[in-house]
């Protein structure tokens, strides 16, 4: 009789091996990340893993993500257009819902034209790689969002990173790096610190200005048009997301009609990707309607309460409590969870080394009690 052979130790496939090594490295440095699905609708109070938390980690600044008018906007439009969009916009994926939303965006935010993108990430990739090429120079703030960093890289332009908000240094760098064309790109409100770009001074440097208003649309400006609107600054392209204050999904560029036409012909993230479902456009258009001054006033009441408690600037709806090492930020985040507060630890590469932090994003939907709870928990945080 032939003895059955021991089954050989299954050989690990290379990708499995590499994954295991990379994950072990991240774990060692306190940088391993996990997904945590919400069990409730998005909002100021959410359920995670069977527990209820007051949520300070969403960018739902106006409390529109689960608003029933926004949901109804999606539903009505889906009933008319179906769900899947079927193709890219230039092929057969454009609908009257897309065009209607673009008109509403241009009107609401006082722009000659608007162009939809599938997300803010894709808007930055598409816009930056369309407007700049290998002979050009893109000047980018050191703390710009990752999607701007990636868009700059994809453009193959020379990228000159200037010190955060330092217009003097930028002026000197612009003199040192002429190139065929120069463009400046910046966040309006910086996503991790919540501070504002010096847009007036940047505009005065004379180069075309691209401003990412992701955290300023709906939050700043008399009509919620962002920091450019608030300061009366003209940017050549303003990028906004529909996924944050507007509680929907997708993004847009506000620009002139000719720049819009240029982007339609050059922006690869728009040309080579299936368009947004019409229902998403319907939701976003309903959100524009629901983006009332009253909601913005409620958000600002919360911002004032929180900033007074923290003795911090009231620049935006974003507040960071910097803790340094990643393990300290994770420990602080867990301590807050014990008190019923969800404020996720933000670690490199999202923020620079040594600046791991708790990031709080406020919403118009938070109550005075929610804000007081967070402040109280922070006072008693073990440091």
* 257 labelled catalytic: no
120 touching ligand PLP, by CB under 6 A: yes
- Separation in Å, CA 148 to CA 81, 125, 127, 211, 380: 33, 7, 10, 10, 37
Omega within 30 of 0 (cis) for the link into 56: no
**What is the closest distance, in whole angstroms, from the C-beta atom of residue 119 to ligand PLP in the complex?**
3
* 11 labelled catalytic: no
**Total residues interacting with ligand PLP, rule: CB under 6 A:** 14
At 140, is the secondary structure helix, strand, or coil? strand
| Binding string, residues 251-290; x marks residues near ligand PLP by CB under 6 A | x---------------------------------------
The one catalytic residue in 81, 98, 215, 344 is 215
Residues numbered 174-233 forming contacts with ligand PLP, rule: CB under 6 A: 187, 191, 212, 214-215
Nearer to ligand PLP, 212 or 315 (CB): 212
CA atoms within 13 A on the CB side of 68: 0
CA atoms within 13 A on the CB side of 125: 16
Residue whose token pair is 């009332």: 292
DSSP state of 329: H
Helix, strand, coil: what percent of the chain each, to 5?
40, 15, 40
Which of 350, 154, 128 lies closest to 239 in space, CA to CA?
128
**What is the closest distance, in whole angstroms, from the C-beta atom of residue 175 to ligand PLP in the complex?**
28
Nearer to ligand PLP, 145 or 296 (CB): 145
61 touching ligand PLP, by CB under 6 A: no
Nearer to ligand PLP, 147 or 305 (CB): 147
Which of 85, 174, 89 lies closest to 137 in space, CA to CA?
174
Residues numbered 316-375 forming contacts with ligand PLP, rule: CB under 6 A: none
**288-298: b (≥16 Cβ within 10 Å) or e:** bebbeeebbeb
Nearer to ligand PLP, 67 or 141 (CB): 141
**What is the closest distance, in whole angstroms, from the C-beta atom of residue 48 to ligand PLP in the complex?**
20
Report the alpha-carbon distance of residue 244 to residue 156 in Å, rounded. Answer: 29
CA atoms within 13 A on the CB side of 81: 25
60 touching ligand PLP, by CB under 6 A: no
The one catalytic residue in 81, 145, 244, 370 is 244
* 81 labelled catalytic: no
57 touching ligand PLP, by CB under 6 A: no
Under 8 Å between Cβ of 72 and 286: yes
241 touching ligand PLP, by CB under 6 A: yes
**What is the closest distance, in whole angstroms, from the C-beta atom of residue 123 to ligand PLP in the complex?**
7
Nearer to ligand PLP, 95 or 147 (CB): 147
**What is the closest distance, in whole angstroms, from the C-beta atom of residue 250 to ligand PLP in the complex?**
7
Nearer to ligand PLP, 130 or 378 (CB): 130
The one catalytic residue in 129, 191, 320, 333 is 191
Under 8 Å between Cβ of 127 and 313: no
Residues numbered 69-108 forming contacts with ligand PLP, rule: CB under 6 A: none
Report the alpha-carbon distance of residue 171 to residue 174 in Å, rounded. Answer: 5
67 touching ligand PLP, by CB under 6 A: no
Contacts of residue 143, Cβ cutoff 8 Å, sequence gap at least 6: 164, 187, 190, 192, 193
Among 147, 186, 316, 356, binds ligand PLP (CB under 6 A): 147
Phi then psi for residue 196, to 5 deg, are -110, 150
Of 6-14, 47-55, 117-125, 375-383, which segment contacts ligand PLP by CB under 6 A?
117-125
Nearer to ligand PLP, 114 or 373 (CB): 114
In the complex, the residues that contact ligand PLP under the rule CB under 6 A are 119-121, 124, 145, 147, 187, 191, 212, 214-215, 241, 243, 251
Active site residues: 191, 215, 244
């Amino acid at each position: 009789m032939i003895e059955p052979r021991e089954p050989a130790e299954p050989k690990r496939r290379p990708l499995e091996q590499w994954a295991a090594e990379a994950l072990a490295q991240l774990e060692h440095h306190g940088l391993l990340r996990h997904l945590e699905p919400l069990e409730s609708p998005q909002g100021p109070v959410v359920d995670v893993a069977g527990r209820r938390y007051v949520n300070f980690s969403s960018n739902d600044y106006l409390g529109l993500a689960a608003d029933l008018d926004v949901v109804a906007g999606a539903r009505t439009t889906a009933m008319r257009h179906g769900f899947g969009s079927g193709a890219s916009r230039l092929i057969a994926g454009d609908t009257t819902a897309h065009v209607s939303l673009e008109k509403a965006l241009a009107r609401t935010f006082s722009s000659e034209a608007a162009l939809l993108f599938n997300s803010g990430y894709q808007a930055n990739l598409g816009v930056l790689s369309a407007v700049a090429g290998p002979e050009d120079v893109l000047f980018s703030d050191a703390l710009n969002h990752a999607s701007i960093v990636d868009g700059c890289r994809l453009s193959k332009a020379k990228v000159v990173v200037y010190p955060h908000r330092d217009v003097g240094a930028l002026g000197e760098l612009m003199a040192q790096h002429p190139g065929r064309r120069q463009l400046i790109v910046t966040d309006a409100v910086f996503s991790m610190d919540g501070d504002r770009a010096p847009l007036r001074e940047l505009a005065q440097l004379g180069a075309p200005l691209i401003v990412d208003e992701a955290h300023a649309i709906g939050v700043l400006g008399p009509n919620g048009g962002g920091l450019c609107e608030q300061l009366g600054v003209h940017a050549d392209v303003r990028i906004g997301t529909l996924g944050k204050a507007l509680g929907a999904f997708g993004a847009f560029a506000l620009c002139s009609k000719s720049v819009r036409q240029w982007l339609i012909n050059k922006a690869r993230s728009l040309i080579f990707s299936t368009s947004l479902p019409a229902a998403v456009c319907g939701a976003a258009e309903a959100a524009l309607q629901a983006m009332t001054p009253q909601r913005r006033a409620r958000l600002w009441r919360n911002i004032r309460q929180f900033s007074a408690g923290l003795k911090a600037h009231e620049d935006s709806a974003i507040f960071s409590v910097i803790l340094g090492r990643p393990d300290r930020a994770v420990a602080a985040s867990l301590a807050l969870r014990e008190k019923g507060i969800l404020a996720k630890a933000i670690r490199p590469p999202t923020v620079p080394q040594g600046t791991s932090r708790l990031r709080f994003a406020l919403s118009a939907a938070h109550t005075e009690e929610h804000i007081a709870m967070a402040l109280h928990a922070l006072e008693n945080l073990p440091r």
